[in-house]
Structure 1
């Protein structure tokens, strides 16, 4: 009997931003001959190559946001409204990262109007019964996607250290099912995404409410049992609570136009490595050769 495929699903946006901001403060932009910065792109590719060598997947997919505006902005004007626009040195690197991905042979995914998280969630939903899946990201929101065949590896330090969650670890730490993480987020809100949840309810209270009542709807159904202070806060912010839940929940119905076979790992040929070097990405080439000396 053949072993199940192991798909590495990479949050390309998370790794690109992380790589950019790891080197930009030191003015290490690794510019091409024409002056275009490459620090985010080269860091992203090196990170994925390292993950590939450590985690030994059989298949690989890279997921991207496709533009700033998503259905969540249509639901709530304030969604991510407080985020500064990307630095000028990062802007050209969004398209470059996808190009480098294709050059190496990785398959890019993204849907206009959805976030990378939703594409990742849809891949997990589509293939959870057919493959072992490891998701690499820095985004804890993805913990809601955990299932018996899916592991979330949250970036921790450098290219090699991860905070790894499976269902067992999540349930031990949170004492709820992973899917209910969105219900917890609905109460506590998310300052980086710009939605408030219920003002005055922090992470501990949010978690204890979901542990006791199961869901946002469960808490609302039991509103009369709550302490007066909690009851008044939740009643005052009930509409925002419901909206925050919609914003926190990762969608899993994005169409994924691919089969698992389409995600097969590419071979790192000398021709590809030469092309990367010629295009100004010699750091990637060197890193690839150190990790995969035999191609």
Structure 2
């Protein structure tokens, strides 16, 4: 079981009253909530292994270089030679080091990689896993990892950890009209305001799904847009061409 830790402790912070404090008055509602989540998840799903995946860099510079708007709306201070400061409530910020200490004290593996987000760690561990994997997250980007063939599911926390939405291949198709392996291209086309991903102007969720059903993937779609002999309509061709630079790096 792979946990998108920041996703969970943010949810815990907003879900547990800030009256939960240590004897010295330090707020520990996020700490308490995260531990409650982990206890519920492990008792319900009985994973053989558990990893808390960590954002060593929540907004990697290499991603910003490719898409300058990436998470820009969540930056409160830019750091020239380090990690930008993310907008985080002060009572939560003081708990993040405590969360790391508590997880270490409990012997729960915490894994991050410098210059990368927890998503990247989760993707890498999932690709290397030799058995079933459950990914616990509130981030839709990780839907692309779902695979019935490899027994990879996403336990989606949008409705709360007590009411998880379990996503397999059929659930992703039912919800978005695309296969899990097409979800990344779908998100690129549609855009995602939560990450500052602009998407292609004039292409919404329905059109993105229709296009992926027709062309299979983004690369084939872009190739058709640049091929004057293709049957792609002029309006769609123009939209994709205008966004060519974005589509090349997204």
Residue 36 of structure 1 corresponds to: 26
Structure 1 residue 159 displacement after superposition? 3.2
2 CA distance for matches of 1:12 and 1:41? Answer: 11
Distance change >3 Å, CA 146–CA 222, structure 1 → 2: same
Gaps of 5+ in 2: 76-86
TM-score under structure 1 length normalisation: 0.74
Q: 2:12 aligns with which of 6, 15, 19?
A: 19
Q: 1:232 aligns with which of 208, 217, 238?
A: 238
Residue 59 of structure 1 corresponds to: 49
| Aligned-partner SS, 1:59 | coil
Residue 162 of structure 2 corresponds to: 160
1 CA distance for matches of 2:160 and 2:99? Answer: 19
Residue 247 of structure 1 corresponds to: none
Residue 243 of structure 1 corresponds to: 249
2 CA distance for matches of 1:210 and 1:83? Answer: 30
Residue 47 of structure 1 corresponds to: 37
1 CA distance for matches of 2:27 and 2:189? Answer: 40
Structure 1 residue 190 displacement after superposition? 1.0
Residue 186 of structure 2 corresponds to: 184
Q: List aligned pairs for 1:62-77, cutoff 5 A.
A: 62-70=52-60, 71-77=62-68
2 CA distance for matches of 1:242 and 1:103? Answer: 44
Structure 1 residue 225 displacement after superposition? 2.4
Figure out how many residues of one structure are paired with residues of the other and give that number: 232
Gaps of 5+ in 1: 1-7, 245-295
Residue 281 of structure 1 corresponds to: none
Residue 133 of structure 1 corresponds to: 133
1 CA distance for matches of 2:57 and 2:186? Answer: 28
Higher relative contact order (CA 8 A, sep 6+): 1
1 CA distance for matches of 2:65 and 2:206? Answer: 30
Residue 116 (1) aligns with residue 118 (2): yes
1 CA distance for matches of 2:96 and 2:177? Answer: 38
Contact kept, 8 Å, 1:186 with 1:242, in 2: the verdict is no
Residue 78 of structure 1 corresponds to: 69
2 CA distance for matches of 1:180 and 1:158? Answer: 26
Residue 93 (1) aligns with residue 95 (2): yes
Superposed CA offset, 1:256-289 (max 9, x none): xxxxxxxxxxxxxxxxxxxxxxxxxxxxxxxxxx
Residue 150 (1) aligns with residue 152 (2): yes
Superposed CA offset, 1:237-266 (max 9, x none): 11112223xxxxxxxxxxxxxxxxxxxxxx
Q: CA RMSD in A?
A: 1.7
Distance change >3 Å, CA 173–CA 68, structure 1 → 2: closer
1 CA distance for matches of 2:176 and 2:57? Answer: 33
- With 152-161 and 49-58 compared, the bigger mean Cα shift is at 152-161
Distance change >3 Å, CA 190–CA 62, structure 1 → 2: same
2 CA distance for matches of 1:21 and 1:207? Answer: 33
- With 114-123 and 153-162 compared, the bigger mean Cα shift is at 153-162
2 CA distance for matches of 1:207 and 1:178? Answer: 12
Distance change >3 Å, CA 140–CA 21, structure 1 → 2: same
Contact kept, 8 Å, 2:159 with 2:165, in 1: the verdict is no
1 CA distance for matches of 2:48 and 2:221? Answer: 43
Structure 1 residue 186 displacement after superposition? 1.2
